[in-house]
Structure 1
Amino acid sequence: MLRRTIAISSGPTRLSVAHRQLVIDRQDQPRATVPIEDIGTVVVDHPAVTYTHDVLVSLADAGAGLVVCGQGHLPVAMLVATVGHGTQTARHIVQVDATPGLKRRLWGRIIRTKILLQADVAQQATGRDDGLAPLAARVKPGDPENLEAQAAQRYFKAVFGQGFRRRRDGATPNDLLNYGYAIMRSSVARAVVASSLAPALGLHHRHRNNPFCLADDLIEPFRPMIDRVVFDLCQAAGEVPEIDRRTKEALLSVLRHGVALSDGRRTPVDLAIRHAAASLGRSFEERKDLLILPASLPDPDLDLTAQAEEPDAP
């Protein structure tokens, strides 16, 4: 089932739970309810939003995520369930025991896919891929030449202009990219936990203060999807737009768009993320590359909700 992303960006608003429904009470508006099991992520982006403890517990129990935004409408915190399936311990063991060679092969696949999708974004945005596709073909296990960084130098200048520098605290449209990446990261982190993987144990990313290193690995092939939306928003406005309700809705909608997978199936992006996480878990178990990653950019006109298939549970 394709889960919904609920964005709360006006207030005062009170969130509560009744009869397994998220209850949304807004001032001077009719009460709205959404089944908890239908929710994938709740994004709270207003200082006058309050919620009960039961909201947090119910979302976590259902495997849903909560993203809290602060100044500049940028996400500052994320709640993801810590309880996985009954196979969690067994899967953690095989993840810990994964050989360096397997991790390098998996990371190489992830980076190769990311650069290929960046090439698609550049091609659609400028009419040429700026040499990114040949660069992707050179990626080896572990990306020892750091072709990911070399690709980024070409890519962001090609898509957003020669003066653009991709920095978290950089000039706009970095703020739009930050917002979109954070929403995508929440979905990836939720999928990692749902697949009974240990989110702190990354393939490539390692930091003692980062509890979601594995999510930061797995998000990489999905970042170009956000880049394409930000480019389209800038083109449509004729300038870099602000983070407002329209731009946030455009970035959130990416999770519903249809995308091709490397195994030939087509599915909404949110389910593609879950397939990627589930296939990573199977890769650890069978000690070989079984990754299922996106093979195309999302198509907003492709509605795959009806035929979307959930990944197999671990």
Structure 2
Amino acid sequence: MIKKTLCFSNPIYLSLRNAQLVLHLPEVENNKTLPEAIKKEAERTIPIEDIGVVILDNRRITITSGAMETLLENNCAVITCNQKSMPVGLLLPLCGNTTQNERFRSQLEASLPLRKQLWQQTIKQKILNQEYVLRTNTDKETNCMRVWSNDVRSGDPDNLEARAAAYYWRNVFTTYPNFVRDREGVPPNNLLNYGYAILRAIIARALVGSGLLPTLGIHHHNRYNAYCLADDIMEPYRPYVDQLVLDIIQCNLEISDITRDLKMQLLGIPMLDVVINGKRSPLMIAAQQTTASLAKCFAGECKRISYPEM
């Protein structure tokens, strides 16, 4: 089942009633000039079990402890944004799987050779997906990227990921010939940042649902990063966000600010159509298949992570 992604950009009061998320618009309820019939219509309810991601993008949003607790109990990722409407925080449940303790142990005890092999698989698929985006959107030569993908060794000691990334970013945005991928850089970096934040939440949510510890990565190990594993596993998924941003650029001349319309398009990331294990699936469902296969790799039940192929 596809979970809903909810983004609240206006002042709103979120509470809980009968396992439903209740949405109140305070500006409507407090307006004495409006008839009661209209005020009643200002309230809406959504089953919490249908929600996968909630984005809080306004400083005047109020959410009750009961609503927050129930969202987390249903493995919902809650994202908070700063005054520039960029995601800055991610809240996930502490326990999202009945066999979490067992899976934590398998993950913690994973050998270095296994982690290096899993990273090799991750980078190979990331480069292949980047190659597809570059080949289908530009006239640039991409044979080199296929060669780099084939040459990735266990643990990627040659850092072919960085070589492929440098070539990819230099050529993928033809309308921005001098583009440099930088979190603080000029557009379309803002769109990429927003899209990757949504993707990170989806992957982190799927990891928790598979009973894994998002903090302990197979490659990333920044001591200040609470979601190293999410950053690892999302790598082959990043080109899907890149493709969406390319599609947005073709339809919008102005992307200096992330408008409401641009947000709505980026919030469609969970529903993007991907191919995984030879079958089409929404990205959010594919992420669950990927993390479930990763848990099996840690447990010694399989040797390959299921990643989407573009």
TM-score between the two structures when normalised by the length of structure 2? 0.91
Kept in 2: contact 1:229–1:251 (CA 8 A): yes
Q: Provide the residue aligned with 1:309 in structure 2.
A: none
| Letter of the 1:55 counterpart | A
Q: Which of the residues 84, 87, 101 maps onto 2:99?
A: 87
Alpha-carbon RMSD across the aligned residues, in angstroms, is: 1.4
What is the SS of the residue equivalent to 2:84? helix
2:152 maps to a residue whose letter is V
Aligned match of 2:237 = 222
Is 1:147 matched with 2:133? no
TM-score, normalised to structure 1, is: 0.90
Q: Who is 2:205 aligned against?
A: 190
Aligned to 2:5: 5
Q: 1:239: Cα distance to partner?
A: 4.6
Written as runs of structure 1 = structure 2, the 5 A alignment for 1:124-203 is 124-128=136-140, 130=142, 131-160=144-173, 161-203=176-218
> What's the CA shift for 1:223?
0.8
How many residues are paired up? 294
Larger of the two Rg values belongs to structure: 2
User: Counterpart in 1 of 2:33?
Assistant: none
Q: Please state how far the C-alpha of 1:133 moved relative to its aligned partner.
A: 2.2
Q: Distance in 1 between matches of 2:165 and 2:14?
A: 40
Kindly report which structure 2 residues correspond to 1:12-23, keeping only aligned pairs within 5 A, or say none: 12-23=11-22
1:182-261 equivalence runs, <5 A? 182-261=197-276
CA distance in 1, matches of 2:279, 2:198: 24
In structure 2, the residue matched to 1:285 is 299
* Deviation of 1:63 (Å): 0.4
In structure 1, how many angstroms separate the alpha carbons of the residues matched to 2:164 and 2:230? 21
SS at 1:72 equivalent: coil
Unaligned runs of 5+ in 1: 297-314
| Counterparts of 1:259 and 1:287, CA distance in 2 | 25
Matched, 1:46 2:66: no
Distance (whole Å) between structure 1 residues aligned to residue 183 and residue 279 of structure 2 = 34
Cα distance in 2, alignment partners of residues 49 and 114 from structure 1: 37
Please say which of residues 284-293 and 170-179 is displaced more in the overlay: 284-293
SS in 2 for 1:259: strand
- Mapping of 1:51-70 within 5 angstroms? 51-70=63-82
Structure 1 residue 156, shift from structure 2 partner: 1.1
Residues 153-209 of structure 1 show CA distances to partners (whole Å, capped at 9, x for unaligned) of: 111111124411111111121111111000110111111111111111110000222
Q: Is the contact made by 1:197 and 1:281 (CA closer than 8 Å) also made in structure 2?
A: yes
* Distance (whole Å) between structure 1 residues aligned to residue 253 and residue 96 of structure 2: 45
